[in-house]
Amino acid sequence: MSIESDLQRRLDENVKSEADESTKEECPDINAVECHDQNVQEMSIIISLVKNMNDMKSIISIFTDRNINILHIESRLGRLNVKKQRKNLEFEPLELLIHAEVPCIESESLLEELKSFSSYRIVQNPPMNLAEAKNPTVNDKVPWFPRHISDLDKVSNSVLMYGKELDADHPGFKDKEYRKRRMMFADIALKYKWGQQIPIIEYTETEKTTWGRIYRELTRLYKTSACHEFQRNLALLQDKAGYNEFDLPQLQVVSDFLKDFFEVTVQILTVIRKIILFEFCNYKARTGFCLRPVAGYLSARDFLSGLAFRVFYCTQYIRHQADPFYTPEPYNQALKNICIFPSGPIDCCHELLGHVPMLADPKFARFSQEIGLASLGTSDEEIKKLATVCLFPRSPMKPHKERSITYSFSIPLQQHALSDKAVIKPFIPMKVINEECLVTTFQNGYFETSSFEDATRQMRQVFTD
């Protein structure tokens, strides 16, 4: 089963409702529809289109010609009795859900005229525009998930632990100025909406100095440990996106870099034919990924849903200067069971120097999106498995003994991963998902595979299974 067919299955459950309740073509007794006042009643009618697409225009005209106020209208793949007759139809049947204020004196003639065009039935309390629900839940089986990139606005502020919240053992806990800066960055992220430009940050000299120390040390390590793709993209980021040791890159500039070369796919747009379709946008892109500011820890489900739209969440604040090579970010042990994201030292160094270079690689970007797509509408148990695997794929690195150019997926704490203390294991996804993801310390082990292609092949098999 492919990712697309699995999504189709989830969406079938998502929209399953009236099909098993009734297959009748005749309308129920009109008295079953309650009048709100003496003259007007609200009616919700599902109308099946079985002849041709022009019926849609004619049906809407039936309402407008009577000056009936249509409150809501949406279309979907047909699920009435015509579903059994699709092989005999010239086009795939559709259904219209129309919710309208109907004058009582018009209701009988309205339904009679609708009958001449198609089958129909009245429904009580139909689900409408589920993505707009304040507490979105599709049904008991399938969790709500975003269907358009703008829907990420609904989940991106569902932060489990804010970056401005520091534990007593954090090096910046008693630094009032540092805490003030963290609050400023959190406020920027919480106010951000899809389509806006990411605000430009004027970083302090202290922040620039901290960045410089980390940048110089990591770029030194990358020369001997990072894979070819990582090194190539890091060079491009240095040339095109402002990566240097003297100042921090701006998220908007980096995001624009990821969209700077050739046309590619992008947003999940809508649910039609019970599968997720993709819209191809006419903008230039390297991999189609973009960055979105975030205020702190997200749940694994929310983080992965961003990957489905090629959106990567990134903080704008930097770790405290007192301990630049590792920072104990706020972490509540109670969050462990829901496998939070991101892991380890969550700050702009972690994301910009650990993740972004590989997001500029088309194959890695596509693979990351596939992981995101696999997460949509799936169970909490499956989310935890996907998240566990995702905690390990970071900047791919050569093995410390240089047997050949291979990839070792790990959190980008290269000094530990390349030391004699590190345990290197073969990359087997079904074993990786049983590993404990350590957030506040080094991992117990790292995973090595012969090639990135081999890793993606294994992961796609996991998605299928």
Q: What is the 3-state secondary structure (H, E, C) of the chain?
A: CCHHHHHHHHHHHHHCCHHHCCCCCCCCCHHHCCECCCCEEEEEEEEEECCCCHHHHHHHHHHHCCCCEEEEEEEEECCCHHHHHHHHCCCCCEEEEEEEEEEHHHHHHHHHHHHHHCCEEECCCCCCCHHHCCCCCCCCCCCCCCCCHHHHHHCCCCCCEECCCCCCCCCCCCCHHHHHHHHHHHHHHHHCCCCCCCCCCCCCHHHHHHHHHHHHHHHHHHHHHECHHHHHHHHHHHHHCCCCCCCCCCHHHHHHHHCCCEEEEEEEEEEECCEEEEEEEEEEECCCCEEEECCEEECHHHHHHHHHCCEEEECCCCCCCCCCCCCCCCCCHHHHHHCCECCCCCCHHHHHHHCHHHHCCHHHHHHHHHHHHHHCCCCHHHHHHHHHHHHCCCCCECCCCCCCCCEEECCCCHHHHCCCCCCEEECCHHHHCCCCCCCCCCCCCEEEECCHHHHHHHHHHHHHC
Q: Which residue, among 164, 183, 249, has the nearest Cα to 212 in the 3D structure?
A: 249
User: How long a stretch of residues is the chain?
Assistant: 465
Q: Which residue, among 4, 106, 122, 22, has the nearest Cα to 62 in the 3D structure?
A: 106
| Threshold 0.75, pTM exceeds | no
Q: Which residue, among 406, 362, 352, has the nearest Cα to 234 in the 3D structure?
A: 352
pLDDT at 198: 97
Q: Which tokens is 299 given? A: 């749940």
Q: Which residue, among 137, 96, 148, has the nearest Cα to 270 in the 3D structure?
A: 148
pLDDT at 382: 86
Q: Which residue, among 395, 431, 429, 430, has the nearest Cα to 412 in the 3D structure?
A: 395
Q: Is 350 annotated as a binding residue?
A: yes
**Phi/psi of residue 136, each to 5°?**
-65, 120
Q: Is 36 annotated as a binding residue?
A: no
Residue 121's Cβ-side half-sphere holds a number of Cα atoms within 13 Å equal to 17
* Distant-in-sequence, close-in-space partners of 427: CB < 8 Å, separation ≥ 6: 409, 447, 448, 449, 454, 455, 458
CA gap 192, 158 in Å, rounded: 13
Mean pLDDT in order along the chain per 10 residues (465 residues): 59 47 36 51 78 72 86 70 47 73 84 72 52 43 85 85 59 77 92 95 96 92 85 94 96 91 40 40 65 89 92 92 69 40 62 91 90 88 81 45 34 57 79 70 72 81 74
Question: Tokens 């702009």 correspond to what residue?
Answer: 348
Q: Which tokens is 7 given? A: 């999504």
pLDDT at 246: 97
| Cβ count near 48 (within 10 Å) | 21
pLDDT at 292: 96
Cβ distance 298 to 156 under 8 Å? Answer: yes
CA gap 145, 151 in Å, rounded: 9
pLDDT at 441: 62
CA gap 132, 317 in Å, rounded: 31
**Domains of the chain with bracketed CATH:** 41-80+91-125 (3.30.70.260), 159-264+282-464 (1.10.800.10)
Cβ distance 140 to 77 under 8 Å? Answer: no
Cβ distance 181 to 317 under 8 Å? Answer: yes
CA gap 442, 416 in Å, rounded: 8
Q: Which residue, among 339, 396, 371, 368, has the nearest Cα to 462 in the 3D structure?
A: 371
